[in-house]
A and B are shown apart, each in its own frame.
Chain A
């Protein structure tokens, strides 16, 4: 399939498709934190992402953020004596029109962690994309088999849980659904190789490995704050100084976004029906107040 083969200009490859003298066009759905990070990472590796969202404002904000981010990272890399990275936005397309995804070989979906919303997006992607197109779900917690069931191609639906910030995190969690084909897994692995990502393949289950454990840790840390056991800095210091973690759970929550944490806990609570996943009332209150972390300028810390 074309996606595996990068920029082999003009040769007949894979299933007989002729590659253009350009790198792969990849669809990206959702212009939030993760969609922006994925686009940025694709641009850095020479891909030509088409970013689709229902909101023009979100798309323009995303373009601006990607421009700023590519530039700042290139500046930082230069300061550290590293290789210069691409700062060009020329290869980025943003649009509210899903039809632009009709000819792509792979789409990475990054919409909010809400099963009904994901259902509508996967149904739409199933209708507009070519039948051979792989649909990658970049989800925090929602089972991939469930997402595959919203399409007529569950064999081509796979989970890739990118970490935030996407350009900085070298390892992703890969989750085949129950019906995901070996071919889809192989093609996804090759795509990730090209994107410079390492991956750990795990079986499908709500929250996979990472967020089943992390969401509980973060939620319990918020309970500690809520109950007045310790303030945020102390909770994070314990994890950093005693366990050697690079960031504490509350700093991590601010980076992920408290709205996403809350959504993820709700998905885990629904899927497992286990009260250990009930969101802390303080988390709900902070999300209601708009104090959702770095992206809003304030969460457990100010930015």
Chain B
């Protein structure tokens, strides 16, 4: 089974049509994404990993990169 990192990477590379993304690439920088994609990313996070993204979670620090999102999902799953 794919790791959380791999699943996020596959989704982002497919959606953003980027061949390679570093784990720390800031996808919100350089106009890589728009607000429509921000909505899809939150939906992906909830549906793919079965976690609820609540208001307090809607911080860019949780969604900025593959590493940030993987850490966020890990925290939500362990209830930290």
Contact = CB atoms under 8 A, between A and B. Distances in A.
Same complex for A and B? Answer yes
Interface of A: 65, 68-69, 71-79, 87, 165, 168, 294, 302-303
B55 A79 contact: no
A71 B55 contact: yes
A69 B39 CA distance: 5
Contacts of A294: 40
Contacts of A168: 35-36
Contact of B35 (A65, A68, A73, A303): A73
B15 A72 contact: no
Given A68-B46, A72-B35, A74-B58, 20 more contacts: A65-B43, A68-B42, A68-B53, A69-B39, A71-B42, A71-B53, A71-B58, A72-B38, A72-B42, A73-B39, A75-B38, A75-B58, A75-B59, A75-B60, A76-B38, A87-B55, A87-B58, A168-B36, A294-B40, A303-B14
B41 interface: yes
A174 B68 CA distance: 44
Interface of A: prevailing SS = helix
Contact of A79 (B28, B40, B43, B46): B28
A76 B31 CA distance: 11
Interface in B37-80: 38-43, 46, 53, 55, 58-60, 63
Contacts of B43: 65, 68
A77 B35 contact: yes
Nearest to B43: A68
B39 A303 contact: no
Contacts of B36: 165, 168
Contacts of B41: 72
A208 B59 CA distance: 41
B27 to A, nearest CB: 11
Contacts of B59: 75
B39 A302 contact: no
Give the top 10 A-B pairs by smallest Cβ distance, nearest first: A76-B35, A76-B38, A72-B39, A71-B58, A72-B38, A72-B42, A75-B58, A69-B39, A79-B60, A73-B35
Contacts of B53: 68, 71
Contacts of A78: 60
A57 to B, nearest CB: 16
B15 A68 contact: no
Contacts of A77: 35
Contacts of A302: 14
Contacts of A87: 55, 58
B31 to A, nearest CB: 10
A73 B59 CA distance: 11
18 contacts: A68-B43, A68-B46, A69-B39, A71-B58, A72-B35, A72-B38, A72-B41, A73-B39, A75-B38, A75-B58, A75-B59, A75-B60, A76-B28, A76-B34, A79-B60, A168-B35, A302-B14, A303-B40
